[in-house]
């Protein structure tokens, strides 16, 4: 698995855009009885279907999406992730639980408010582009603005700006049949951006693309987020994509969120054997950061050696240490938080160091350690084979 996770800083605010609490979506007869009955709500998927004829696609899910972050929901086919994202704007009606956008109850919205939510505040980018074949690129991009009632000249002007932003300048008059798959997906992305939504919702938008085109589109999302800081909710079944794009990742299985955390937390401290099996082939040095790998700095460490940021990946630190032939200082706003050297970096690559709460604090707050000695966490639990991992059950999504 070859990929690079971009160095990123977490959002500067914890203010939520979407807040989800106790969300359920049950398909089948009398679905509302499932969340309300403690006995039924705890049944395994196969037992629930056999006893009630119902399928719980989303089971008691809670999370906040912070303003300006890329929040990724990932899982295997049938895990409930696509159902979940459609519940956020009530494209699928939830069975139970609460959903709020900027504090406003989405489930209490009437048709007018719901229409405004979908047209102005949250735009969806689907896997299947849904372009109008008889319209040009420009008119496809402007379609959402047309629905909003924006005048023709204004919507075409705004559409042209977005077309250029996604790299399709010069193709405005082509029709979808004249475009490649990647180009059509860029049109779908531009159409969502044109209405200037507060939140972009992506439902596995790149899964049908060839690998190289898919990588280009992922880079495009990273670039747009870096330039605009727009809040995004991204659905994917691909772990590489999740790690590359996500500030935080919610990993789903059988309708439940089994772990929610940063890419580093998911890879460095898997919640259970299922997650551990999911991330076993991830190159840890591309995900784990210097803040995790560092040891407290000794007195003679603080003035010498290359400087790296706490958010720099271990791969970046390896290059810095190899070039300098000396330990690297982990620097934040002129302060040395710690040091990474060959031993710490090798521990991370080998999986000896796991992410612990202590690894996320500054060196000043870290447990005492002898100068020059790394602070180690407990070794990870033994890996399980695919046959040992808990099986997944297909669900309706």
Q: Tell me, what's the pLDDT at 302?
A: 63
Cβ atoms of residues 141 and 190 within 8 Å: yes
Q: Tell me, what's the pLDDT at 367?
A: 36
Phi-psi region of 169 (alpha: psi -120 to 50; beta: other; left: phi over 0): beta
Cβ atoms of residues 74 and 242 within 8 Å: yes
Count CA atoms closer than 13 A to 214's CA, side-chain side: 17
Q: What is the mean pLDDT of each run of 10 residues along the chain (397 residues)?
A: 50 77 96 95 95 96 95 93 95 96 95 92 81 90 87 90 88 90 87 89 84 85 87 92 93 95 91 90 88 82 81 90 88 88 85 55 38 36 39 39
Task: Mention every residue, 6+ apart, whose C-beta is less than 8 A from residue 222.
Answer: 6, 244, 245
- Kindly list the domain boundaries of the chain, sorted by start residue: 65-278, 286-365
Q: Tell me, what's the pLDDT at 201?
A: 93
Give burial (CB, 10 Å; 0-12/13-18/19+) of 2: exposed
CATH number of 65-278: 3.40.50.300
d(CA 330, CA 162) in angstroms, rounded, equals: 39
CATH number of 286-365: 3.90.1280
pTM here is: 0.79
Closest listed residue to residue 246, CA positions, set 120, 53, 69, 35: 69
């Amino acid at each position: 698995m070859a990929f690079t996770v971009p160095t990123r800083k977490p959002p500067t605010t914890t203010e939520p855009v979407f807040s989800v609490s106790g969300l359920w979506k049950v398909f089948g007869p009398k679905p509302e009885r499932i969340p309300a009955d403690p006995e039924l709500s705890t049944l395994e998927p196969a037992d629930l279907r056999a006893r009630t004829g119902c399928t719980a696609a989303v089971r008691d899910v809670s999370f906040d999406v912070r303003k300006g972050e890329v929040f990724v929901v990932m899982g295997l086919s049938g895990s409930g992730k696509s159902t979940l994202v459609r519940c956020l704007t009530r494209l699928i009606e939830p069975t139970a639980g609460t959903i709020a956008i900027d504090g406003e109850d989405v489930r209490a919205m009437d048709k007018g408010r719901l229409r405004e939510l979908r047209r102005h505040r949250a735009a969806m980018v689907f896997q299947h582009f849904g372009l109008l074949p008889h319209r040009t690129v420009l008119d496809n991009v402007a379609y959402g603005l047309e629905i909003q009632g924006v005048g023709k000249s204004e919507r075409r002007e705004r559409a042209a700006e977005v077309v250029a932003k996604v790299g399709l300048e010069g193709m405005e008059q082509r029709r979808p049949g004249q475009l490649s798959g990647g180009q059509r997906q860029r049109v779908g992305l531009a159409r969502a951006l044109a209405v200037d939504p507060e939140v972009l919702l992506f439902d596995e938008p790149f899964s049908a693309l060839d690998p190289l085109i898919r990588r280009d589109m992922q880079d495009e999302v990273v670039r747009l987020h870096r330039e605009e800081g727009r809040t995004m909710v991204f659905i994917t079944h691909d772990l590489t994509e999740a790690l590359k794009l996500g500030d935080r990742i919610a990993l789903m299985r059988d309708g439940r969120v089994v772990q929610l955390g940063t890419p580093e937390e998911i890879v460095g401290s898997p919640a259970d054997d299922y997650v551990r099996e999911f991330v076993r082939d991830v190159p840890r040095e591309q995900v784990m950061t210097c803040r995790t790998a560092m040891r407290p700095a000794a007195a003679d460490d603080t003035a010498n050696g290359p400087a790296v940021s706490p958010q720099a990946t271990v791969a970046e630190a390896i290059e810095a240490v190899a070039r300098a032939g000396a330990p690297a200082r982990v620097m934040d706003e002129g302060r040395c938080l710690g040091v990474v050297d060959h031993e710490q970096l090798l521990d991370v690559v080998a999986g000896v160091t796991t992410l612990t709460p202590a690894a996320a604090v500054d060196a000043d707050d870290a447990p005492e350690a002898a100068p020059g000695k790394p602070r180690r966490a407990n070794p990870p639990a033994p890996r399980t084979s695919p046959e040992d991992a808990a099986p997944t059950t297909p669900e309706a999504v």
